[in-house]
């Protein structure tokens, strides 16, 4: 499987898992979602906001690639978060609506990637304003890894509250091989 196809699979997985996580989290009260439970971003809502914040930051950087991915125009129209722990939405419903839009953009972006573009570099400024130039494909890999990392934290927090997110393994989306 090519790296491009792997990223399309990861975008599908991201969308599927976010729907599962948000469905479970939406069963909690606002107070339970906002309760500081000692997670790195405090609460379930804080962590969900952080994932979206990081996605917006990275996708806006990706949109600056010389190939200009129009699939990310919707994300470019969003306000650039100023800090990684910024609360974009205090309401889970509004956060979920924005999450759905970003997930659709990520999937469209992944589908638009080419093997060639994944070998190029992307220059960007980090949140402290420090310049970097890194491999574009590896930066996209970081985007998906970051999401998975924090969703794992959220699924644990939801499980501790008696909520089952269901299957969480990427294996669920990997199709059966046709080479049998």
- Could you report the per-residue pLDDT of 125-161, keeping only the tens digit for each? 999 999 999 999 999 999 999 999 999 999 999 999 9
As a whole number, mean pLDDT of residues 73-99 equals 97
> Please, which residues bridge with residue 42 across strands?
39
Give yes or no for residue 112 having a pLDDT over 90: yes
pTM for the predicted model, two decimal places: 0.95
Average pLDDT (94-119) is 97
Supply the pLDDT for residue 162.
95
pLDDT at position 180 is 61
pLDDT of residue 177: 86
pLDDT at 95 over 80: yes
Query: Residue 179's pLDDT is what?
Result: 75
Share of the chain above pLDDT 90, in %: 93
Q: Note the pLDDT of residue 175.
A: 87
Report residue 61's pLDDT band, with 50, 70 and 90 as the boundaries: very high
Residue-averaged pLDDT of the chain: 96
Whether the pLDDT of residue 1 is over 80: the answer is: no
**pLDDT value at residue 72:** 98
pLDDT at 176 over 80: yes
């Amino acid at each position: 499987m090519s790296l491009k196809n792997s990223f399309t699979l990861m975008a599908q997985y991201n969308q599927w898992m976010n729907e599962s996580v948000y469905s479970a989290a939406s069963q909690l009260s606002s107070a339970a979602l906002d309760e500081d439970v000692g997670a790195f971003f405090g609460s379930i809502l804080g962590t969900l906001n952080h994932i979206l914040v990081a996605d917006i930051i990275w996708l806006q950087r990706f949109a600056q690639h010389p190939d200009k991915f129009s699939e990310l125009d919707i994300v470019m129209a969003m306000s650039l978060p100023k800090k990684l722990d910024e609360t974009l939405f205090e309401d889970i419903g509004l956060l979920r609506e924005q999450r759905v839009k970003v997930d659709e953009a990520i999937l469209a972006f992944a589908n638009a990637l080419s093997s060639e573009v994944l070998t190029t570099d992307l220059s960007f400024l980090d949140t402290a304003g420090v310049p970097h130039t890194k491999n574009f494909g590896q930066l996209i890999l970081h985007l998906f890894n970051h999401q998975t990392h924090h969703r794992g934290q959220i699924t644990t927090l939801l499980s501790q509250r008696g909520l089952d997110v269901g299957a969480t393994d990427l294996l669920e989306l990997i199709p059966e091989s046709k080479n049998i």
